Structure 1
Amino acid sequence: MHLIFLLFLAPFCSAAVFQLPTKSTGSLRAKLIRAGKYQEFLITQHAARLNTISQPISDYSDEVYLGNFTVGTPPQPVSLVLDTGSANMWVIDASCDNMFCNGWIGSNYTRQKFDTSKSSSFSRENRKFSIQYGKGLCSGYLGTDTVGLGGGLTIRKQELGIANKLDVDFAVQPMDGIFGLAWPALAVDQITPPMQNLISQLDVPVFSVWLDRKIQASHGGSAGMITYGGIDTKNCDAGVTYVPLTAKTYWQFKMDGFAVGTYSQYGYNQVISDTGSSWISAPYAMINDIATQTHATWDEMNEIYTVKCSTMKTQPDLVFTIGGALFPVKSVEYILDIGLDEGKCALAISPLMASGFGPSWILGDVFIRQYCNIYDIGNARIGFANAHHSF
């Protein structure tokens, strides 16, 4: 309406013509490309779109974080560990009815097992599978079925394991299986990992993880978000530090140095980001230095280092140097109250036996709670941004 009015008015106006000088600032796209920031700009733009999908994460004692999925037709609900440290998806078979598959009775968690006979879309393969994790072994057979992630994201034919044998390590875990988020080269039996099957549905081949910290013991409360196709701009700062991956198996990269209290160590270490690991794992020698700086004592019975819970917020930061930037992790993140006696809390750091070829550090949920992790599949890099918390 206003446009038509102005067009008709213009021929009858005799006012002076005003000319303003203009100048070109150059192409924003070209500038960002030259600065190596165009892909980051695109990810940020895509993250603001309505069709990036965020999936809530449930928390168990700030140690196990689960995503809610469905498998089969009609869909059967399962809660799976979101694991960037492995590449296979598996669920527990409903036919498995022993204490390991049913779960430890004192775990405050009721297992949701997958009944293949009730899914019209399930197809069984003639292949068996067996996966040995850092802690825990599972085995069974392979099949394909429909997997739902919520928000309209669906994988029509995902190859997955149907586990009918679990060992004791999985018996005590509040979980119905694992959703592997690592690279295809890490996948057992050469299956295609779920993220590679999702890529065509996403704005950009990226997912990001934000984990919250409850401090008080949680038994399934909402405590995080995984965002497929972009970055969680609500719970994560806009500024992201990216570093290239050194291997496309785990989400592996270089760490330049580490410090705690008066101790510091510099020199490259191979590190992985692992949402499936509750704690930080470090070389044996480093564990001793951290224990010294935090005045931790060894608990022989539970095989962990402990400190007084009263020091949870006053211990020195763990400071990681990655990509030339400092990433301090506060003591409220790495000291956990896991129900020990005499006012003791756990130092959430465990030893890792490095072979010289694999990673020497694992940055698990302790680190990821402090920093949102952005897993950029398209550019083979990982990014870190400050995470937002209420405490």
Structure 2
Amino acid sequence: MEQTKARIWTANDNDSKSARLSQIHDYEDLEYLGDITIGTPPQSFRVVLDTGSANLWVPDIKCVQGRKEICRQSRCDYGMVCEVLCPDKSCCEKKETEDDGGESPCRDKNLFNSVKSKTYVKVDPKVMFNITYGTGFASGFLGNDTLRFGGSDEDETLIVPGIVFGQAVKIADFFADNPVGGILGLGFAKLAVEEVKPPLQQAIDLGLVDPIFTVFLEHNGFSAQGEFGGTFTYGGLDYVNCGEVIAYEKLTVAAYWQFYMKAFSAGYLTIKKGWEVISDTGTSLLGVPAAIAGMAADALGCNFNRLYEIYEIDCVANVTVDLTIGDHVYTLEGENLVVQLGDDFCVVAMFPMGSGGFGPQWILGDPFIRQYCNIYDIGNKQIGFAKPI
């Protein structure tokens, strides 16, 4: 099934412009990354395509703390390993200008080098960016160049000139030993730092694509290490992987992809309080208000792991939860609700989150988007849902 879908990269769209497609790579059903290129000739990066933020950044060559190229490999980190294995022993001498430890989370990642791009344009060097996420941060300076939504070997990709993006010189340790090589935000401009225009909005303003995109995510399981994991269809609906649209819901706030959810059910538990929720491709699980998460875990027969703040569950548990959005009930089934994190170790796909009374109270992350294709209608400020085919 996956191979069949991976070969069908055709845009069957009835809108005025052709839809553009980007193949997604699945890592353990916890991270879904897309390939992009920046610059001319293209420099490649594998990034989170994130509806929960609005800026693009990738690691810059300066992120390796000024160390010469031969010193950036792992065997040339400081200490005994460097003394024994590094071919250039000068790498083992820590410079005063380098941070303690000498090892950068950018090590072994693709790094953007503006000198190698003939379409690169400098941005005011006084303007710096600093973005904080739930699991880390990135900071650096801004540049301007051509962006391709997709890898250089993919057809039917969207190519957009004049994108302002972040060149990260410092990133959180979270990104070390992680396949994430940057983040491309697909939220609204209100979320963007330094008033930078989001990349997809730039494409829309240039008339390159219609103001809508569709996300289909594939379920591959714990063993997935970069295989085909879905499709982002820019500029239209995905008629290859997604069925008829069940319904559209108006956004309550056009910053995140935020809308209203009426009710939640899990096992014997039903709550009809109503909440502001967001659809977020960059979140691996479902973010649930802490009090509700605890009750839902009990109703589903879970055990709370206090160390990691996750809910353990039997890997073969046949559980479901229902989300009432608008006039429709959306059911998340066990295949997407039970997530394997190790051999015979599974958790229910939710984590407790707090809210200070502002912003979204729930995050509908990848488990929800695997269960239902999400259609992000920028032009009409609404979101739609469809069952995958």
Same-fold call, TM cutoff 0.5: yes
Query: Contact between 2:261 and 2:277, CA under 8 Å: does it hold in 1?
Result: yes
Query: Contact between 2:309 and 2:352, CA under 8 Å: does it hold in 1?
Result: no
Q: Which runs of 5+ in 1 are unaligned?
A: 1-43, 104-109
Show CA shifts across 1:151-172 (max 9, x none): 2421111000000101122224
| 1:86 aligned residue | 53
Pairing 1:286–2:295 present: no
| 1:154 aligned residue | 159
Of the three residues 326, 330, 354, the one matched with 2:333 is 330
Query: Contact between 1:260 and 1:293, CA under 8 Å: does it hold in 2?
Result: yes
3-state secondary structure, aligned to 1:81: strand
Please, what TM-score do these two structures have when normalized by structure 2? 0.82
Report how far residue 240 of structure 1 moved. Answer: 3.1
| 1:235 aligned residue | 241
Give, in whole Å, the separation in 2 of the partners of 1:58 and 1:214.
Answer: 10
* 1:45-194 correspondence to structure 2 within 5 Å: 46-47=13-14, 51-97=18-64, 99-102=103-106, 111-125=109-123, 126=125, 127-150=127-150, 151-194=156-199
Bigger relative contact order, structure 1 or 2 (CA pairs below 8 A, ≥6 apart): 2
Show CA shifts across 1:241-290 (max 9, x none): 10000001100000011001111011320000000111100101111111
Of the three residues 265, 276, 282, the one matched with 1:276 is 282
Moved more, 249-258 or 209-218: 209-218
Report how far residue 129 of structure 1 moved. Answer: 0.8
Q: Residue 371 and residue 164 in structure 1: after superposition, are their counterparts in 2 closer, same or farther (change >3 A)? A: same
Pairing 1:256–2:288 present: no
Q: Residue 261 and residue 163 in structure 1: after superposition, are their counterparts in 2 closer, same or farther (change >3 A)? A: same
Aligned AA for 1:335?
Answer: V
Q: Residue 384 and residue 303 in structure 1: after superposition, are their counterparts in 2 closer, same or farther (change >3 A)? A: same
Report how far residue 216 of structure 1 moved. Answer: 4.0
Q: Residue 163 and residue 185 in structure 1: after superposition, are their counterparts in 2 closer, same or farther (change >3 A)? A: same
Q: Which runs of 5+ in 2 are unaligned?
A: 1-10, 65-101, 151-155
3-state secondary structure, aligned to 1:196: helix
| 2:384 aligned residue | 383
Aligned AA for 1:254?
Answer: Y
Q: Select the structure of larger CA radius of gyration.
A: 1
3-state secondary structure, aligned to 1:96: helix
* 1:192-211 correspondence to structure 2 within 5 Å: 192-199=197-204, 200-202=206-208, 204-211=210-217
Query: Contact between 1:256 and 1:324, CA under 8 Å: does it hold in 2?
Result: no
Give, in whole Å, the separation in 2 of the partners of 1:57 and 1:169.
Answer: 21
| 2:372 aligned residue | 371
Give, in whole Å, the separation in 2 of the partners of 1:338 and 1:183.
Answer: 32
Q: Residue 247 and residue 361 in structure 1: after superposition, are their counterparts in 2 closer, same or farther (change >3 A)? A: same
Give, in whole Å, the separation in 1 of the partners of 2:380 and 2:279.
Answer: 16
User: Cα RMSD (Å) of the superposition?
Assistant: 1.8
Q: Residue 289 and residue 134 in structure 1: after superposition, are their counterparts in 2 closer, same or farther (change >3 A)? A: same
Aligned AA for 2:18?
Answer: N
3-state secondary structure, aligned to 2:145: strand
Please, what TM-score do these two structures have when normalized by structure 1? 0.82
3-state secondary structure, aligned to 1:378: coil
Show CA shifts across 1:80-107 (max 9, x none): 100000000000112322644336xxxx
3-state secondary structure, aligned to 1:276: coil
Q: Residue 155 and residue 71 in structure 1: after superposition, are their counterparts in 2 closer, same or farther (change >3 A)? A: same
